């Protein structure tokens, strides 16, 4: 729907324009004004999309009225009507962005064409704005996922760390470093730890800090504060607890804060934040900065990160034997270092659980651990129970992951076959269908061969030839037309393919059908 305001001091002109609009533009609602002053008053509540403005009126003339209206209605389209073909009027009207200049007496078709021109411009602007809003909404939906992946790559896969200018703009990163904040969320009622906490945390922190916020995994959220080396970190913990405690009175928070590090070494700040967090486990305090912990060296630990990485890699692939092999190596290290400290062993494995859970989520595998698993770990009585519990969960998870991979592969091939069936008449390429399946061409080609027993081109050819045979049997169109209908542009090439598959030329095949 469009709103149009007619401004002219002659009633007969208003009546004529009203009649034309009523009979030609059912999608326009209209108002009229007999002076510039009245036009400004009516526009304040009518908010016109189009204004038909007479130049010569008593009091405020048309040009001055347009100037006043443009202040508050910059997107309104103006069409000037004048009984005078004066160059100066036309020139000034054009400088104001007027889209048309119509001379009185008005021609009906000229007026209709001018209004249609204005409607087309408005429609295009509305579509453009709607597209911009749609893109903005998509971006706002995607942005948390980009943050999660980027933060995860800094912490877990830091050897492959890169940051492009595009990423800096997307994530609003303008500093070369920062510090990690790890927040544990605790509640007597585990159901009260809901996703809403993540969004509350996000709104709260984005308002005050330049930061990246990781997802809520189990009961922990990681935050990267993007800052200068000498920036203060003393207030962030108090700020979070003060504001979130008001929203979630039944929940308590423990906050560990690492030291400033360059982005490529932010994983060290992450490890520090976890150490600070662990120091609060038997304390009434809620906040700890790594600098407040005495006699601790972050670099003294020989924790086998490479073994952990291998464990995660093979578990994500669903490889049970390899996963257990690297878990055994990792657990041997835990036994050696924490043989007399069961809680430290549990904490280390819980942190492994979080990293593994995040890795599986990033790989679109959503069958892994939950809050009940954490409770189960805390109830275990010794290292033997701890080892057996983890071995069992890794083994059963690998089985489920393999099943998930198989289902996913089958779904990809089913969708690919449907796509070929629906689009065989088009110029389908392997790259195109791999893109539809959201996998690489090389991976798709291998999967297709494994699942169907034939390569992509042979399968597509068979579908097309079968369709050609069907057309020969059930239509009267020529072989040449059939060639074009099934996706080939060269009849000679089609004939060669047909003979290769059917051991007979299309012409001979057609003759055999006619004989029957």
63-78 confidence digits (pLDDT tens): 889 888 988 888 899 9
Q: Does the pLDDT of residue 371 top 90, yes or no?
A: no
Contact by Cβ (8 Å): 335, 383 = yes
Task: Give the H/E segment covering residue 161.
Answer: none
Question: pLDDT (tens digit, 9 = 90+) per residue, 324-334?
Answer: 898 999 899 88
CATH code of the domain occupying 156-300:
3.30.70.270
Helix (H, G, I), strand (E, B) or coil at 50: strand
Q: Where in the chain is the domain with CATH 3.40.50.2300?
A: 2-127
Q: Does the pLDDT of residue 300 top 50, yes or no?
A: no
Angle at alpha carbon of residue 98, lines to 30 and 27, rounded to 5°: 25
Give the number of other Cβ atoms within 10 Å of residue 48's Cβ. 24
Angle at alpha carbon of residue 117, lines to 83 and 61, rounded to 5°: 35
In angstroms, how far is CA 165 from the centroid of its own chain? 19
Contact by Cβ (8 Å): 7, 65 = yes
Query: What per-residue confidence (pLDDT) applies to 219?
Result: 75
- With CA atoms as reference, report the closest residue to 314 among 303, 298, 325: 325
Query: What per-residue confidence (pLDDT) applies to 128?
Result: 85
Angle at alpha carbon of residue 339, lines to 337 and 345, rounded to 5°: 75
* Dihedral-angle region of residue 453 (phi above 0 means left; psi in -120 to 50 means alpha; beta otherwise): left
Give the mean pLDDT of the chain.
80
Question: pLDDT (tens digit, 9 = 90+) per residue, 189-206?
Answer: 545 556 677 778 788 888
Q: Does the pLDDT of residue 342 top 90, yes or no?
A: no
DSSP, res 183: E
Q: Maximum Cα–Cα distance for the chain, whole Å?
A: 101
- With CA atoms as reference, report the closest residue to 455 among 413, 418, 502, 408: 413
Question: pLDDT (tens digit, 9 = 90+) per residue, 16-62?
Answer: 999 999 999 999 999 999 999 999 999 999 999 999 988 888 888 88
Q: Does the pLDDT of residue 358 top 70, yes or no?
A: no
Q: Specify the higher pLDDT residue, 361 or 339.
A: 339
Question: Can you tell me the mean pLDDT for 269-291?
Answer: 81
Q: The domain 2-127 is classified under which CATH number: 3.40.50.2300, 1.20.120.610, 3.30.342.10, 3.30.70.340?
A: 3.40.50.2300
Q: Specify the higher pLDDT residue, 458 or 410.
A: 458
Percent of the chain clearing pLDDT 70 (strictly above):
81
Residue 102: exposed, middle, or buried by beta-carbon count in 10 A (0-12, 13-18, 19+)?
middle
Contact by Cβ (8 Å): 186, 219 = yes
Question: Can you tell me the mean pLDDT for 478-484?
Answer: 88
Q: Where in the chain is the domain with CATH 3.30.70.270?
A: 156-300
Question: pLDDT (tens digit, 9 = 90+) per residue, 442-466?
Answer: 777 877 887 777 888 888 888 898 9
Query: What per-residue confidence (pLDDT) applies to 38?
Result: 92
> What's the pLDDT band for 84 if we cut at 50, 70, 90?
low
Tokens 């401004």 correspond to: 7
DSSP string, 323-342: HHHHHHHHHHHHHHHHTT-H
The predicted model scores a pTM of 0.39
Angle at alpha carbon of residue 82, lines to 76 and 87, rounded to 5°: 95
> What's the pLDDT band for 240 if we cut at 50, 70, 90?
confident
Q: Specify the higher pLDDT residue, 358 or 6.
A: 6
Q: Specify the higher pLDDT residue, 374 or 284.
A: 284
DSSP, res 217: B
In angstroms, how far is CA 486 from the centroid of its own chain? 36
Query: What per-residue confidence (pLDDT) applies to 139?
Result: 58
């Amino acid at each position: 729907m469009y709103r149009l305001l007619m401004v002219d001091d002659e009633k007969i002109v208003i009546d004529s324009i009203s009649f034309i609009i009523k009979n030609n533009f059912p999608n326009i609602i209209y108002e009229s004004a007999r002076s510039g002053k009245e036009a400004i008053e009516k526009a304040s509540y009518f908010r016109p999309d189009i204004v038909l403005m007479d130049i010569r009126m008593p009091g405020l003339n048309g040009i001055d009225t347009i100037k006043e209206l443009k202040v508050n209605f910059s997107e309104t389209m103006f069409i000037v009507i004048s009984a005078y073909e004066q160059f100066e009027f036309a020139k000034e009207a054009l400088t104001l962005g007027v889209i048309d200049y119509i001379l009185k007496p008005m021609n009906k078709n000229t007026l209709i064409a001018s209004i249609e021109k204005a409607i087309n411009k408005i429609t295009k602007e509305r579509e453009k704005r709607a597209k911009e809003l749609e893109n903005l909404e998509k971006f706002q939906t995607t942005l948390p996922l980009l943050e999660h992946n980027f933060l995860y790559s800094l912490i877990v896969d830091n050897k492959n760390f890169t940051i492009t200018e595009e990423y800096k703009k997307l994530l609003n990163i303008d500093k070369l470093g920062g510090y990690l904040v790890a927040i544990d969320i605790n509640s007597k009622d585990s159901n009260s730890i809901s996703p809403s906490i993540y969004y509350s945390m996000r709104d709260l922190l984005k308002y005050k800090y330049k930061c990246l916020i990781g997802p809520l995994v189990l009961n922990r959220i990681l935050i990267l504060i993007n800052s200068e080396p000498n920036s203060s970190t003393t207030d962030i913990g108090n700020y979070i607890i003060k504001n979130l405690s008001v929203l979630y009175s039944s929940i308590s928070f423990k906050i560990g804060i690492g030291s400033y590090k360059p982005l490529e070494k932010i994983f060290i700040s992450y490890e520090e934040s976890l150490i600070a967090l662990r120091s609060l486990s038997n304390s009434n305090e809620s906040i700890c900065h790594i600098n407040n912990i005495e006699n601790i060296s972050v670099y003294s630990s020989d924790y086998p990160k490479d073994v952990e990485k291998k464990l995660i890699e093979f578990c994500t692939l669903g490889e049970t034997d390899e996963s257990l092999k690297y878990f055994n190596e990792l657990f041997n290290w835990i036994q050696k270092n924490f043989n007399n400290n069961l809680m430290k062993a549990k904490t280390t494995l819980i942190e492994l659980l979080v990293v593994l859970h995040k890795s599986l989520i990033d790989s679109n595998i959503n069958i892994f651990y939950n809050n009940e698993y954490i409770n189960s770990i805390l109830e275990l009585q010794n290292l033997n129970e701890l080892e057996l519990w983890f071995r069992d969960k890794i083994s059963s998870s690998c089985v489920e992951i393999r099943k998930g991979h198989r289902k996913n592969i089958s779904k990809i091939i089913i969708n690919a076959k449907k796509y070929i069936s629906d689009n065989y008449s088009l110029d389908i390429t392997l790259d195109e269908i791999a893109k539809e399946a959201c996998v690489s061409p090389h991976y798709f080609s291998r999967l297709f061969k494994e699942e169907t027993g034939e390569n992509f081109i042979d399968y597509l050819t068979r579908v097309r030839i079968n369709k050609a045979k069907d057309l020969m049997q059930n239509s009267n169109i020529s072989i040449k037309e059939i060639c074009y209908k099934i996706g080939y542009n060269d009849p000679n090439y089609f004939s060669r393919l047909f003979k290769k598959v059917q051991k007979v030329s299309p012409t001979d095949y057609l003759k055999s059908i006619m004989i029957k």
